[in-house]
Amino acid sequence: IIASKAIRFEGDNYSDDWIKEAAKRGLTNVTDVPEALTAYLSDKTKKLFFDLGIFSEAELEGRAEVMFEQYTMKIQIEARVLGDLAINHIVPTAVKYQNRLMENVLGLKEIYGEEFKSLAGNRIELIREISDHVTAIKVGVNEMVEARKVANKMDDEKEKSKTYSKKIAPFLDKIRYHIDKLELIVDDEIWPLPKYRELLFSS
């Protein structure tokens, strides 16, 4: 333990503490997969593999290209699946629940007249929230699809993987954010997927 103290970090590796500590120790802290894979093609890495007779230059570049392609394919699959779930399952369910709320609000208005505003205030706000999240999801999916079309025309696997990392992967988090918000709003009875609490606490 004493001997390894200089290379250990006992804080939170997922927090900014590690980023600061890595910089202080002069360590590379790469959070981007294509950037990490680029290390395979650095002069230092090439020299190591060449000197030890492990790979030729063509073999090393071939392996790196396969890894770039694998990363791209994983993000492609995630993007297609998320887009399908969002547009064909989440959005229709959210709109269905929104319609229920609107019917309820209109019913209150019919019975109570102007007093319905105070009675249905929360539901009216939920209707607006659902609209905002549904719109954001549709826009996000459409923009993600267009970004993928541009990236898919690229022939260089390294550059394509970088484009997927910088331009397309961020859409996954943005779209998921709005889906997570809808999950908290929409009735469990009609939500099409297992909710987080169900995954965590269901036996």
What pLDDT score does 186 carry?
A: 95
162 vs 23 pLDDT, higher one: 162
- CA angle centred on 199, ends 195 and 203, rounded to 5°: 130
Structural domain boundaries of the chain? 72-194
What share of the chain in percent tops pLDDT 90? Answer: 63
Name the nearest CA neighbour of 33 among 191, 177, 186, 169. 169
User: What does the alpha-carbon distance between residue 185 and residue 134 come to, in Å, rounded to a whole number?
Assistant: 12
Q: Which amino acid is at 172?
A: L
Average pLDDT over residues 72-100: 97
130 vs 30 pLDDT, higher one: 130
What pLDDT score does 24 carry?
A: 86
Average pLDDT over residues 4-33: 83
Contact assessment for residue 168 and residue 148, using Cβ atoms and an 8 Å cutoff: yes
Question: For domain 72-194, which architecture applies?
Answer: Up-down Bundle (1.20)
Task: Kindly state the helix (H) or strand (E) to which residue 21 belongs, with its residue range.
Answer: helix 16-24
**pLDDT tens per residue across span 146-186:** 999 999 999 999 999 999 999 999 999 999 999 999 999 99
Decide: residue 200, CB within 10 A, 0-12 exposed, 13-18 middle, 19+ buried: exposed
pTM recorded for the entire structure: 0.83
Query: How many other CB atoms are found less than 10 A from the CB of residue 22?
Result: 15
User: What does the alpha-carbon distance between residue 80 and residue 18 come to, in Å, rounded to a whole number?
Assistant: 33
Query: How many other CB atoms are found less than 10 A from the CB of residue 45?
Result: 15
